[in-house]
Amino acid sequence: MGYFMDEYDVAVIGAGHAGCEAALAAARLGCRTIIFTLSLDTIANLPCNPSIGGTAKGHLVFEIDALGGEMARAADASLIQSRMLNRGKGPAVHSLRIQADRTKYHRYMKLALENQDSLSLKQAEITSIAKNQENTWDVMTRIGGTYKAKAVIIAGGTYLNGLIHIGDESYESGPDNVSAATFLTKSLKDLGISLRRFKTGSPARVHKRSLNFDKLILQEGDENVLNFSSDSDEEFKNLRDCYMTYTNEETHEIIRANLHRAAMYSGKIEGVGPRYCPSIEDKVVRFAQKNRHQFFVEPMGLDTNEYYLQGMATSLPEDVQVEFMRSIEGLENVEIMRPAYAIEYDCCDSTTLLPTLEFKDIDGLFGAGQFNGSSGYEEAAAQGLIAGINAAHKVKGKDPFILDRASSYIGTLIDDLVTKGCNEPYRMMTSRSEYRLILRQDNADQRLMPRGHEIGLVSDEKLNRLKLKIGQINEERMRLSKTTIPPSKELNDYLESVGTAGISTGIKLAELLKRPQVTYDDLAQFDKERQPLSSEVTQQIEIAIKYEGYIAKQLAQVEQMRRFERRKLPDDIDYNSISGLRIEAREKLSKFRPLNVGQASRISGVSPADISVLVIWLTQNASKGGVTDDE
């Protein structure tokens, strides 16, 4: 017999990275919110790699911070090493990665939830959700409690019908042997949600004393330690080193000889795994021509002897894991503390979601994180933040909060999921954004903080600091564009020393800075009027001047894209009645129901010719909607 417990505006199911951001955002926007977790001890768990950020993922963390999310602050609070990736490439792909203390990260985020006003934290398994007579949601726990909510966010991660595979053995479980959520799937199917099986995996954890660090390749953190959050004003230090080593032909031979014992190759696993994060056995098979594969040996925290083998995911049996690891230099005496495993789980078809992450046909129900088919902590947190904002806006009757592709990596991530869908766990990469030159991690605050302030997640103080920074950038750019520097022997000696031509007449400092070989800091010795500025400000000045032409070109492309985004498509449009559309386009448009022409243009199977037909139809039927005032 069930019993009523309490009533809330927003209920969040799952307290991983998506759930935490969703619950905090909804509560901070004034909604009475409750978040459910299978275990209070696994809140914001890092069940795979103990790090935050990385290529493209670092961009997401900076954007989450700019919008008022929590992940960046949690990463800073648990930082034990900081490295900027891709420094040898352009600024568009520079990505910060922080090695985190796994336990500290969990403790920080758990306390953030506990201390948040208007937020209740509850350990309970949710077994069903259903609409009630008041057209709100009944959220029911396994022990019979019922909680009413106006909006529900599902952020189940890899716990939903979780099934762990290690060699021939399989058992129901979420990550790290925490109980799986085994009952909610039926309830979701009863609601008409289409579910599918995806797979991911986690490498082994090994004991520090069993590693020969003399044979491992040292990976030190950066000398100038950077952090994620603009709220952090302390001086950060690297506290631990990471290491790298390689597999070899002996390793590969052991793996090949035991492929029949790997769950991945024995036919036991039905779910689709991530292409960009393959298991070691998958690497050996797919890249047979390579005689070695690199992987990283990383500390799990400051108060543990566990080390994580990044890049060594596997579903092979434990005895085979020990055998092939001991063939690797530096791991000859390795002791496994937690064996590697593969895990299957249920997730939804992300194309059934709106850009708000609300289900198209289920009012008040939202999805976030790995439940939507993505992989990665950062992708999950980004979706959780947007789902939390939009659930709060729906409850309060406010307009939806949607980021487009040209505004952010978050916008690109969500647009890819809801418009293109994914046939495997989706991972954010810089190559997925056609606007990556203007969507750098270093300008995330300028792009998104005003919007975070507008919705109420960013404080006045934080916005004012941003305005001061932007003012300094603009003022200095103007000065550089107006200041002429005369030729001199010292200047020409410098220019020739860095591989560029000297000058014979005066030249504007901005023009000189456009040269790839010239840096803002190096010009200081020739610039008598220069005032002290922070490195954060000078970095923005240098990027803006050096890439000015490319940025202008990309901004023009953005405006063209946004013209298509402003062409709204009526909800009741009958694509089968529009002559000139190809059959495939009619089928795809009818299925996905895009909100505007821009979204329609990104659906696989809809050609530029089909888009031209749609635009003509909209023009001819302006009275039905679709043409905006500025057209």
pLDDT at 234: 81
Cα 166 to Cα 259: distance, rounded to the nearest angstrom: 12
Strands 145-154 vs 365-367: parallel, antiparallel or unpaired: parallel
Is 478:485 a contact under the CB 8 Å cutoff? Answer: no
What is the crossing angle of helices 460-482 and 444-455, to 10°?
150
Instruction: Give the three-state DSSP class for 6.
Output: strand
Is 419:351 a contact under the CB 8 Å cutoff? Answer: yes
Rg value, the chain, Cα: 26
Which residues have C-beta within 8 Å of that of residue 86, sequence separation ≥ 6? 55, 93, 94, 95
Handedness of CA 610, 615, 620, 625 (dihedral sign): positive
pLDDT at 630: 43
pLDDT at 623: 63
Q: Is 514 exposed, middle or buried (0-12, 13-18, 19+ CB in 10 A)?
A: middle
pLDDT at 82: 97
Cα 362 vs. chain centroid, distance in angstroms? 25
Q: What is the dihedral of CA 204, 210, 215, 217, to 10 degrees?
A: 40
pLDDT at 485: 92
Report residues of the chain scoring pLDDT below 50: 627-631
Side chain identity, residue 363: D
Q: Is 527 exposed, middle or buried (0-12, 13-18, 19+ CB in 10 A)?
A: middle
Is 391:26 a contact under the CB 8 Å cutoff? Answer: yes
Residue 265's H or E segment, with its range, is: helix 263-266
Instruction: Give the three-state DSSP class for 32.
Output: coil
pLDDT at 257: 96
Cα 148 to Cα 129: distance, rounded to the nearest angstrom: 10
Could you tell me the pTM of the whole model? 0.94
Residue 151's H or E segment, with its range, is: strand 145-154
Domains in the chain, CATH or no CATH each = 3-162+169-197+346-455 (3.50.50.60), 205-344 (2.40.30.260), 460-550 (1.10.10.1800), 566-624 (1.10.150.570)
Cα 32 vs. chain centroid, distance in angstroms? 26
Cα 25 vs. chain centroid, distance in angstroms? 17
pLDDT at 627: 47
Strands 119-123 vs 33-37: parallel, antiparallel or unpaired: parallel
Which residues have C-beta within 8 Å of that of residue 436, sequence separation ≥ 6? 92, 93, 430
Q: Is 131 exposed, middle or buried (0-12, 13-18, 19+ CB in 10 A)?
A: middle
Q: Which residue has the tokens 């004393």?
A: 209
Cα 133 to Cα 611: distance, rounded to the nearest angstrom: 42
Token pair listed for 398: 């406010």
Cα 558 vs. chain centroid, distance in angstroms? 22
In 232-368, where do the E strands start and end? 242-246, 294-299, 306-310, 336-338, 341-348, 365-367
Cα 66 to Cα 60: distance, rounded to the nearest angstrom: 10
